[in-house]
Structure formats: structure tokens, C-alpha cells
Structure 1
Amino acid sequence: MIAPQKETHHNWIVRENFSGTDIYLAQAKTILNKATGFMNSYDFTLNPYRGCQYGCSYCYAAAFSPDKNRRQNWGNWVIVKENAAQILEKELARWQQKFPNIAPKIYLSSVTDPYQPLEVKRQLTRSLLKVMLAYQPTLVIQTRSPMIIRDIDLLSQFQRLRINLSIPTGSERVRKDFEPRSPSIKSRLQTINKLKYNIPVKANYDIRFSVTITPLLPTFPEDEINFIQQLTVVDRVVLQDFHPSNNNTLTASTRKNAIALKDKYAWWYGNNKHSYQNFKQKLQDYFTALLADVEIMEGKAGFGFD
């Protein structure tokens, strides 16, 4: 389970509308949240926003919405933590004072996408990267957005960095069903290539790249080989099935929207375990035949830095 985020004070007045999304502004009391459960290999999770414009049908983060209405309206609202960079500076300074010889491990982000479309205007994530550079944490960034390329100048300065690019399927038709607001598969594959080949290799710097196929969605047979071939640019591929479904709040859970879509893909979900293992085996066989140095990891283990 991913720990729920601490509440920020807001009065639920819509401050603006950005591309059809209601935007609320908040002053965060804290920005570094203690990492627990699924993310407990880190010291902190860091979420510059609450809510996410991508609104993916399967997203577990909807469970951590402030109320029932916003759980049901996931994808159509975002809370901007306006003072995130200032709070981060204070919290990292406190960490450094307490642990002068230990850099914190930070996961950006656990319940939002730090590069959702609103980031173009707000540049909140970019401001956080600037603050973190002075403290050099071990940093993992989780996103599905090509916008991350904008920050290559900053990313290149981190000494211990892993970038996880989320690509749950190799088929555009599937993406359009499960995550229609998200960037195309092609653009995401191009993004991981640009990151890999434009962030310079430096002595004593540890920069790593993952594709997280999480949750593993169907990929049509005619798309599999092309998709798998393009994954050899990374050092890790992470697989994970849907989160268990339940009606509890504050528990990572697959939304009803995605569960309803399963019927359309009965050829895959009729024997989900077989489909999952078959795809995993094809990955292994291809990487082995190519002698590609790509590790395949599953679930929680795949989201650690190492």
C-alpha cells in the first residue's frame, strides 16, 4: 500500500481551468512524505500536485483523493502545491543537518504525474529539481510524459538518478481505451531514447533508465516484437498486474473504469495469468537472444533504485 498524502489546506475554490481541468491552489504544510509500504525502500515520496490530468482508467491514486466526489471525478481536477519548492528547501536542510553524511532517497512521484500537462505552465517539478540539486538525493522520477525532456539540463546534474517511464502497452488501440489522455506509445518510446542518449555519461555518476509496464495491459500480437525491440535501450523493465480491486478508500486499488474494459479484451484477460507469463517469457527470450543487458523485475522490487 502507498501511504496517503497529508492534507493541505484549501477552500475548494476553483482558481482556474486548464485544458478542461479544474485547478485549485494550496499551501503545503509538508512536501516530503515518509515512504511506507510499496515505497518503503525510499525515505520520502514527493508529490508536487494532487490529482492528475491524465486520469488513467486503472490509476490506483484515485483512492487517495480528498473526497468521494473527486475520486469519481479523477482526472478532472488538480491541486497545485504552490509553495512546494520553499517547503522542500526547508525539509532538505533539516535532513542535512540531522544526517550530514547521508543523502535521502526520494521517489517523485507516487500519486501524481510530476510532468502532467499543467507542469508546462506551473513548472513546479522543475523548481523542485533545482532545489534538490544542492542536496543530491538518490532520486527516482516516475512519469509517462515526454515533457521530462525539457529538464535534461537539470537531470544531467544528478549523481544518482533513475528515470521510470510508464508504458503499460505496446498497442495504441489499447492505450486509447485505458488511458486516452496520455501521450502516445511512440512519443514515450522516443522520450526514453532521447533521455538515454542526451544525458551524458559521467565518472562517478549513476544514471539509470526503466520502462515500467505497470499495470501490464494487453499488447496485440502484431505489435509485440516491435515493442519489445524498443525496450533494449533501458537497463530495467518492470512488470506488474492490476492492483487488487476493492471499495476501500486510502488503499491502492484498480478503478471500476479499467475493470469494465477487461471484457473488451477477453482474449487476454480470459486467462490473465497465462497472458502475463507469456509476455514475460517473450521479453526474456528476446533479451537473452540479443544478449541485451536488461533486467526484468516484477512488482515492488522493480521500483527500487537498485
Structure 2
Amino acid sequence: MAKLQDEYKEQTPSRFVNEQFGDTNVYFQNAKSLLTKATGFIAAYDFTLNPYRGCQYGCSYCYAAAFSPNTQMRKDWGKWVIYKENAAKILGKELEKWYRKNPNQPPRIYMSSVTDPYQPLESKHQLTRSLLEVMLDYRPTLVIQTRSPIITRDIDYLQRFQRLRINMSITTGSEAVRKDFEPRSPSIKARFNAINKIKQSIDSSKGFIPKISITVTPLLPTLVNDEDDFIERLAIADRVVIQDFHKSDSRSLVASTRQEAEEFKHKYSWWYDQGKYNYIRFKEKLLSRLSGVEIKEGKDGFGYE
């Protein structure tokens, strides 16, 4: 059993239980609230919902590392997760409160903004699944942001949401690039297979078919030999969202691209030396080849509609 390291004690809950999941330290805490008012980039929603704090995928570019409890945990992004032990109970209470004030207005919920609700730990603890079960009784508009094939486990629940969009993050069409920028994340093939399984498993006469977005955010390089195939495979979605890197900022509590990703950009200088041109060129290819797919950029792409 892992012990909480001294440098992690600042701003961490006073009551916690530790376990190890692979090389990740997992800390359990009771959350005071689960629904957070949505602002800024996802202000179109009423709330964000983050079942976990921290993320095992630990992608090099992830802005969410900025919201770590302390500086050391920000440096160790990907190696720790805080599990919100009472999440389902709290969510039920908060949704009941919402409906007392808004009896005819289902809430709009974005899950998740600073974690992946289907990171590997979810396969063991099924926290996100328990939250879906709670939400089924309250009929929200729900958007799920993930890069994980584990989401297919919950198709039985997903097909019961009348207003659901699934955003699958696929930032590059090249495995070599993925392994550099996000080596702990699922393969590109596994993510496309997950989308296929969701679309093929839901019978429209028996359930609701979710909207599907592929979020290429941030847009990473795709090797020349992989680009045409990647664009062709994106046609499985009804929306493709592209976005460049967040600006880098070393301050805490600032959504920014981490230094680890900035360093990888040097390896792909053939792309980033003409970054603006390559972004525009890729966007134009999407527009010309994916005629039946919405192509959106940045904030405009993250709404439900």
C-alpha cells in the first residue's frame, strides 16, 4: 500500500485511503460537491462533472495539470488520481436541488473538463457508471469527453440518454506521434473501434443513438503517409473539432500547454515551423473531404448541438 508522499500533503484531504493502480497512486476522498458551474470554454453548459481529480493518461500537453493540488503533483501529472468516493450520493442530491428550482429544465452537463471519466481506474471502481445510473433519472443533456474504449462497457446506459453527445479525443492519425505526446493513452485504432462499437450496438428502435464528435484537440502532427487514411476514418463522426495548443504558462491554476509537450514540438519541427500553415491546410482538407461532417474549431465545437 502506497503512502502519501510528504510533498503531496499540501492541500490534500485530511482523510484518505491509498491504493496503487499500476504506477498510479490513488487517494480516496469525500467530495463536498460534484457539479461545478460551467464557465469559459464550456459556458454553454450548466455544469461540469469530474468523477476523478487527476488522470492516469497524463498526456504531455494536458492543460488540466494546472489544477493539481500543489506544484509537485502538477509535475507528477499522470501518476496520481483522487477518487471521489461519495460522488453518486452527492450527485443525486445536487440534481434534486436543481429540479426543485428548475422543474421543467433538465440540466446541461459536461463530463469531464479536467479528467477522463473512463481512465483505466474506472474499469475497477465503476465510479462513472454509478453516476450515469443516477443521471438516468434526471434526463440531462450530457456530453462525455474521453479517449478511452472503456466507454463501450456502458452502452446499456448510454442508449437510454435522449440527449447525449460522445466526444472521442483522437489528436493524431499516427501512432508514432501518439506514443510521443500521450504514451499512456489508448491506441488510435482502439478509439475508432470504440466509436464503431457504439454506433453498431445501439438499435434506434430500442434506444437513443448518441451524437458523435471526434475532437482533434490539440491538433498534433499526422505523418504524411497516414493523413489520407486518418481523414477518411474521421467520417464516422457527425462532427470533427480541431484546435491548436493552449499557450504555454508555467503558473499554477492556468490552463496551458505543459513544457513536456513544448519539448516534443521540436522533434516535429517539420510541422511546427509552419504550424499556422499546416493547421489551415489540414482544416481545408477536412472541409473538402468530409462533406457530411460538421467541421468546427475550438470553443464552437464543444457544445451539444
Alignment of 1:70-85 (within 5 A): 70-85=73-88
Cα distance between partner residues in 2 of 1:287 and 1:15: 47
Paired residue secondary structure (2:173): coil
Partner of 2:296: 297
Cα deviation, 1:131-187, whole Å, max 9, x if unaligned, reads: 000001000000000000000000000010000000000000000000000000011
Alignment of 1:1-306 (within 5 A): 10-11=13-14, 15-202=18-205, 205=208, 207-288=210-291, 293-306=292-305
Cα distance between partner residues in 1 of 2:237 and 2:29: 37
Cα distance between partner residues in 2 of 1:228 and 1:220: 12
Unaligned residue ranges in structure 1 (runs of 5+): 1-6
TM-score (norm 2): 0.94
Cα distance between partner residues in 1 of 2:202 and 2:68: 35
User: What code does the residue aligned with 1:304 have?
Assistant: G
User: Is the Cα contact below 8 Å between 1:8 and 1:29 reproduced in 2?
Assistant: no
User: Is the Cα contact below 8 Å between 2:202 and 2:208 reproduced in 1?
Assistant: no
Provide the alpha-carbon RMSD of the alignment.
1.6
- TM-aligned CA deviation for residue 10 of structure 1: 1.3
Cα deviation, 1:94-147, whole Å, max 9, x if unaligned, reads: 111110100000000000000000001110000000000000100000000000
Paired residue secondary structure (1:33): strand
Cα distance between partner residues in 1 of 2:20 and 2:209: 40
User: What code does the residue aligned with 2:200 have?
Assistant: Y
User: Is the Cα contact below 8 Å between 1:196 and 1:233 reproduced in 2?
Assistant: no
Paired residue secondary structure (1:189): helix
- TM-aligned CA deviation for residue 203 of structure 1: 9.2
Q: Quick one: percent identity of the two aligned structures?
A: 61
User: What code does the residue aligned with 1:154 have?
Assistant: Y
Partner of 2:6: none
User: What code does the residue aligned with 1:305 have?
Assistant: Y
Query: Aligned residue pairs: how many?
Result: 296
- TM-aligned CA deviation for residue 11 of structure 1: 2.9
- TM-aligned CA deviation for residue 199 of structure 1: 2.4
Cα deviation, 1:199-244, whole Å, max 9, x if unaligned, reads: 2325995720000000000000100111111111110000000001
- TM-aligned CA deviation for residue 283 of structure 1: 1.1
Cα deviation, 1:277-304, whole Å, max 9, x if unaligned, reads: 111111111113xxxx200000001000
User: What code does the residue aligned with 1:299 have?
Assistant: G
User: What code does the residue aligned with 1:251 have?
Assistant: V
Cα distance between partner residues in 1 of 2:229 and 2:165: 24
User: What code does the residue aligned with 2:282 have?
Assistant: F
Change (3 A) 1:129 1:172: same
Cα distance between partner residues in 2 of 1:123 and 1:67: 27
User: What code does the residue aligned with 2:197 have?
Assistant: K
Dislocated runs of 4+, deviation >2 Å: 11-14, 199-207
Paired residue secondary structure (1:115): coil
Paired residue secondary structure (1:267): helix
User: Is the Cα contact below 8 Å between 2:167 and 2:215 reproduced in 1?
Assistant: yes
User: What code does the residue aligned with 2:172 have?
Assistant: T
Cα distance between partner residues in 2 of 1:9 and 1:29: 14
User: Is the Cα contact below 8 Å between 2:108 and 2:140 reproduced in 1?
Assistant: yes
User: Is the Cα contact below 8 Å between 1:8 and 1:27 reproduced in 2?
Assistant: no
Cα distance between partner residues in 1 of 2:15 and 2:265: 35
Cα distance between partner residues in 2 of 1:80 and 1:8: 15
User: What code does the residue aligned with 2:23 have?
Assistant: G
User: Is the Cα contact below 8 Å between 2:159 and 2:209 reproduced in 1?
Assistant: no
